[in-house]
Amino acid sequence: MAFAELGVGYRNPSVVHACTFSLKQYAQRLGYMHEWLSPEEQVRAQGFLRETDRTRFVLGRAIVRSLCGAHLGVEPARVRLNHTSTGKPYLANPIPVGRKRFEFNVAHSGDCILVAWAEAQAVGVDLEALELYGSVLIDDVSAIAFSTAERAVLSAARPDEVINTFYRIWVRKEAVVKAEGCGLGGSLRSFSVAHCKASCAEWFDEVRYPESGYHWRTIDWIPAPGHLAALAFPQGSIVRHCAPEDIYPKAWTWFAP
C-alpha cells in the first residue's frame, strides 16, 4: 500500500489544519488501522470495556499515525509516538532534513474525533458532545475551573443558553491548556476566554496564558450536529478547516470510509 503526501498547502508553516472524523464512518475500517498501532497501543485498545471507547482510541491513533507518517514519508506503523510528562503525545521519530517539527493535537467526544496539526507551532483542540451534558455539574465545574469573568458570563446567559455557554467557555479553555502542553493540570482559573460587556458575552479572539506569557488565538465552531469544538493556535496563523478527503487526495482510496 503506497503512502501519499498530505494535501496541497499543508507545508505552509503559517497554516493550522483542523479536521473532524466520524466514528460511524470508520467503524468497519478498524481492522487494518489496528495493525498500524504499536504493541503497547494494541494492548491498551483491548483494555477498553466499551466498543465505542475502543473505536475512538484506535481511530484517533490511526489518524495521528497517518498524518505523522505523511510528514516523515513512512508508513503509519513505523511512526513512533511518545508522551510528555503531562501526557501530551508527540512525534518521536527523527525529523528528516529539510522538514520542520510536526505538531498535532487530538480530541474526541460523542461520534467525532477532531485533529489539528501544523509545522513548528503548537496547537490545542477540544471537543464536546453536548448531549452528554447531563453528567456534568455545571455549577461545581465552573466554580473550580472558570475565572470570575467567565462565571459572570455564565450567570448572564439565558436559561436556554446556559449549556451552550458553559461548553463554549470550557472547550476554549481546554484548547488553550492543551496547546500549552499542561492539559487539565494547568491553571484554568488564571485566564479568561470571555467576559460580560453591557450584560452580553464578549468572546476574546486572543488569550494570554499567564504561566508562560504566551498569547493564543482561540476560535470555536460546530464540527457536527450536537458537538462543539475549539482550537487554540499561535498568532499570525491561518486556520484551514478541511474534510478527510481534502487531506489525502491521493490516498483517499484506502483511507475513505
Q: Distance (Å, rounded) from C-alpha 208 to C-alpha 217?
A: 9
- Residue 70: per-residue pLDDT: 85
For 143-181, the pLDDT digits (tens) are 999 999 999 999 999 999 999 999 999 999 999 999 999
Side-chain-facing half-sphere of 84: CA atoms under 13 Å: 13
- Residue 112: per-residue pLDDT: 94
- Residue 29: per-residue pLDDT: 75
Burial (0-12, 13-18, 19+ Cβ within 10 Å), 145? middle
DSSP string for residues in 98-157? T---EEEEEEEETTEEEEEEEESS--EEEEEEGGGGGG--HHHHHHHHS-HHHHHHHHHS
Residues 155 and 189 in one domain: yes
- Residue 6: per-residue pLDDT: 53
- Residue 212: per-residue pLDDT: 93
113 in a structural domain: yes
Residues 62 and 153 in one domain: no
Residues 139 and 103 in one domain: no
Residues 170 and 136 in one domain: yes
Residues 122 and 140 in one domain: no
Element (H, E) at 71: helix 51-72
Q: Which residue is associated with the grid cell 475502543? A: 54
- Residue 3: per-residue pLDDT: 40
Residues 120 and 208 in one domain: no
pLDDT < 70 regions, the chain:
1-13, 132-135, 183-186, 248-257
Q: Give the domain extent around 164.
A: 129-213
The answer to whether the beta carbons of residues 41 and 60 sit under 8 Å apart is no
- Percent helix / strand / coil, the chain, rounded to 5: 40, 25, 35
Residues 66 and 90 in one domain: yes
Q: Distance (Å, rounded) from C-alpha 95 to C-alpha 81?
A: 13
222 in a structural domain: no
Residues 123 and 141 in one domain: no
Structural domain total, the chain? 2
For 59-73, the pLDDT digits (tens) are 999 999 988 988 888
Residues 142 and 208 in one domain: yes
219 in a structural domain: no
CATH of residue 59's domain is 3.90.470.20
Q: Which residue is associated with the grid cell 446567559? A: 157
- Residue 34: per-residue pLDDT: 87
